[in-house]
Structure 1
Amino acid sequence: MPHEVPEGQDFVAIVDYYSRYFEIYSIRNTLAATVIHYMKLTFSHHGIPEKLISDNGPQYASDEFAKFSKQYGFVHATSSPTHSQSNGLPEKTVQTAKHILAKCKSDHKDLYLGILEYLNTPLEGDTSPARALMSRRLHSIIPSTHGQLQPKLVHHKQYRNWLVRSREKQATYYSRQSSPLKPLEKGETVRIKKQGIWVPSTVTNQIDPRSYTVQTTDGREYRRNRRDLLKSREATLQELDPLNVLSRQHRSAIPLANQRTPSAQSSSLMANSSNMGNLPTHSPKPETITAPIATPKLEPHVTRSGRVVKPRTILSM
């Protein structure tokens, strides 16, 4: 993913999810052709991945990148817009690269030597990114013995178990101050934030377990993470449409104005036929029966933090 460092220089970082081994390149621009060039260079060194996950930058949404993914035969997926946390490992890699860059600049050291030493540094599982990917230690300017540079096979099952435990540990710490959100169904009414205003919308599709596409009242579709969608108890978009509301009111007013049973009408006609002489010269005004307004029954609302908010009760005087 291309990223701009504080000095104004652009870099593209490509990281492997399994080994956390990453490549970083200084690029002159963030055009799709430039990013594709350095991805091809990385793929020629390490092979073509089965799946590539990126952010929603314009270079990844271009037709040129779609043709590139089809030509090289990998699946291209994007993270949820406005939610960089869903693309966590690349974002963390960018922060690591920025830290190495700042450290090398302050010490007047070479950036790529700093990255090389980081890739040789063992992580929590006593396995460095270089060993996890290549099963050997990379030669650097730090003195090392001949035996340390010999290939050493990494036990895949043990390394995989360490990755699972590490992610479960992170999830445990994260869950202490958060609660899981209920999944949304297609057709549910939610609200999304647009230019600082929460507008109503309807869920149209579920892309990932926590990523959805929604449609607003103006017909536009957006993709958002579940965290950026507020579940609403409002009516659907068709019910919120003013034209549909007027149509329903018009249809409901017709039977209310003529709400007389056939037996009542026949008895009225018989009474009129027997009392023709007592009828007034003018016809009486038809009575209009007004239907009572149904008060919707509100249920308690549970906030994200788990607090139960009871609906307000208004007494009719």
Structure 2
Amino acid sequence: MSRTPFPTGPWICVASDLLGPLPNGEFLLVFIDYYSRYIEFKFLRSITSTTIIDVMKEIFCRPGFPKYLRTDNGRQYISSEFKEYCKVCGIEQIRTPPYWPQANGEVENINKLLVKRLKIAYQHKNNYKEEIQKFVLMYNVTPHSSTGSAPTQLMFNRLIRDKMPGIQDLGAEVLDSAERDQDCVAKQKGKESADKKRGAKEIDIGVGDKVLIKNVVFPHKLTPNFDPTEYDVLERKGNIAIVSRDGRRLTRNISHLKKIPIRSPSDSSSDPGSFPQVQVTPPEELTNTEQSEHQPAQTAGMEPPSLDQGLKLKLIKKGGMWEPASKSEGDGGSSDVSADVNDWFIISLLCSSSVTRTIDGPASPVRK
């Protein structure tokens, strides 16, 4: 009895076979790697060469094309279409002798395990597709008796996670590597370039702040950029913040939030909506200095008139023009002036303590 030599690497020599039909009329297409014993499968309604080629394209897009593909002599595998596909993809097909399934023993052994699992699912009326998925996952993470390692360990150089806790779940320290350093440098360059292009700035938003949420739907052109409804920040993780109002919780990126500044009583004067307060000083509180600025300059040798006395000004009509009367004319009592009372006007300017009248220069003639 000859044995198949052990391949030099994963997914170089692969075996394939069809299992079925199942009670619902479906078939199970199985692939197994001779190096790692890793399994891939697919449920099929049709088992034509075209259908199998489509499934192989779907499976081979992940681990790649194998170098050798061992199959039986089913009509799906010996068709010209299947041969052409293997030729185009650089796959060398190895067919077993007729009526000698032992030549493809690796995949036949897997079929026995799958049939056993399907029988158990059928007897317990379980979903056989889910049962096959559970079995394949368990098989791929369990160390194989021939290799001593799990199929996924040999296939991907790592052990994939399942429900059973493993060493990778203990939080082992991850050592730095050149790939990690290169990734950090590339991400930092991308961040700096994007922040500079968008003019990004740090947003000072923390738990307990009151914020406004940016509108993402604009019913009309006059819709404001931010909704005036205030929300409270409950939690922040990185660039993600959770806000709440009246029991309603929303999750938003902090770039869609606008912080409402806290106003103190001293900031009320800086409110753009308030009017400035102007202090008005009553006239009676004017200082002597302020009053002196509004009083007329005093002539040397003359005393300013008292504010308590009335200032009388007499006008006389001369040549059709009204002019201030001199002292002799005002005291002499001219017959023309005394005869016609209407020709005299006496203007009294009574100055109180709250009003000050200033007369600059001679009085202007008044036309009647």
Normalising by the residue count of structure 1, what TM-score does the alignment of the two structures yield? 0.44
Q: In proportion to residue count, which structure has more helix? A: 1
What is the TM-score normalised by the length of structure 2? 0.38
